[in-house]
Structure 1
């Protein structure tokens, strides 16, 4: 019986190699950052805690449930404000981009409020909405909305006119053009706007939790500041960074899946 010969082994797919290389570089960067942090802490710079001390404090906060409760409280506020901001920004951006009348009516307000930091509205939010959860979520919502609405608007404005004209020649109506041409073409802009909005939401969290909060990562960091508890502050910072990074990676994954038709480097 003749021996069955097999062809040469297939080389690893370029995408898989790129992913492995990226992960290796990410791990190397984390290791280098931890080593640099440990070296700085070893010099006694301004009482800077080292990685081991911060890890020990994180273990204590996890053991008594404080870190989990604070994380869940902050996640709830960020996700609520981010979701509301994005869900509002996308239709408003589409209206501004598709209808010149809507653009003329809404753009001055959008550009006006973009120049005002959401944190500057905290005193007004407290006066009008009290000190409950509503003003906290509102400030986060505003940060996410203002970051996302311009991206959605720009996505509609930048749709190739040739595609729209070709669809009209083929007999497509406004509704079909909007659903089959405009939305897919604007999707990359929307997803980039969502990533920026997510970063703005996390960036606003600590200040939002100044509003009479009783739990949350920002609240815990502010309490730790009063007692010069640097390890707890570092635990809060790292937790916010890790959560923000994980959520950003999820949005990147969604972006790749929804925009596979795009050419990538």
Structure 2
């Protein structure tokens, strides 16, 4: 009986080991390395705030205290909400327009001939340079802010999507045609999956461009938002509030980027990664 029980326990242990996937040690090591990097950065920041002779660099503790004060007085969360809604709206509209147009530019030469010169023309103009014109033509409401964010995300995403379609292996397309696949099937089963890595990279870059453009737009004309709050803090030399805005943008942007990276890994799970 003892031998039978031992064999059963061993079999159960082997089954559990097979069922539970092991997390590679390298993954845990890289995660720990990332955490240590963040801690080291905060410690360096703290040290610089101590040795700074002018005392103009606020310490992480001072920024954290100011963060709590801004939440307590009810200004930080509305500012974060206003900025986040502008970014999400502009990013969604920009990428939503850029991806289908990028596919059309890459797949159909006439569309490419018409749209590519304009795309490259506007891509050379910084979205920040459009802000004064947008304010003059659209006023100082939400429309010009969302417009310049949309433009920033659009120009990055359309180029990435267009380039992704152009980089699809022609051998795969020709093989699909030899096997009798229609253009719709080739586009859906070959071109779209092969272009996804480029599209996701373009979306991540477009997200960064959207945040950069948003803060600039709020610095020029806004009544609420992180950029507006930072501008007001600059007038009164309120460095902790400025740092609260910077850290908030960085943290929220990092979270949004991690979400896109997670989606990228799941949508392109077939792709070989390092």
Common fold by TM > 0.5: yes
Within 2, Cα distance between the matches of 1:15 and 1:79? 34
Q: What number of residue pairs does the alignment pair up?
A: 265
Post-superposition shift, 1:15? 4.9
- Give a deviation string over 1:206-258, Cα, whole Å, max 9, x none: 11113431110111001100111000000000000000000000000000000
Which is higher, the Rg of structure 1 or of structure 2? 2
2:51 is matched with which residue: 43, 55, 61?
43
Asked whether 1:204 is paired with 2:204, we answer no
Q: Is the 8 A contact 1:126 1:211 kept in 2?
A: no
1:173 to 179, 182, 207: 182
SS in 2 for 1:209: helix
| 1:83 and 2:85 correspond | no
The one-character-per-residue Cα deviations of 1:154-181 (angstroms, maximum 9, x if unpaired) are 1100111111111111211111111111
Query: Following the alignment from structure 2 to structure 1, what is the Cα–Cα distance between the partners of residues 30 and 66?
Result: 31
Tell me the equivalent position of 2:240.
231
CA drift at 1:59: 0.5
CA 252–224 in structure 1, closer or farther in 2 if over 3 Å, else same = same
- Asked whether the 8 Å contact 1:119–1:207 carries over to 2, the reply is yes
Matches of 1:224 and 1:201 in 2, distance apart?
A: 22
Residue equivalent to 1:20: 28
1:136–1:211 contact (8 Å) kept in structure 2: no
CA distance in 2, matches of 1:152, 1:186: 7
Instruction: Output the CA distance in 2 between the equivalents of 1:223 and 1:18.
Output: 46
Q: 1:136, 1:211 → 2: CA distance?
A: 10
Q: State the alpha-carbon separation in 2 of the partners of residues 136 and 262 from structure 1.
A: 37
Deviation at 1:84?
0.5
Change (3 A) 1:25 1:45: farther
**1:180 & 1:17 partners in 2: Cα distance?**
36
Which contiguous aligned blocks of 4+ residues in structure 1 show a shift greater than 6 angstroms? none
Gaps of 5+ in 1: none
Q: Aligned partners of 1:33, 1:131: CA distance in 2, in Å?
A: 38
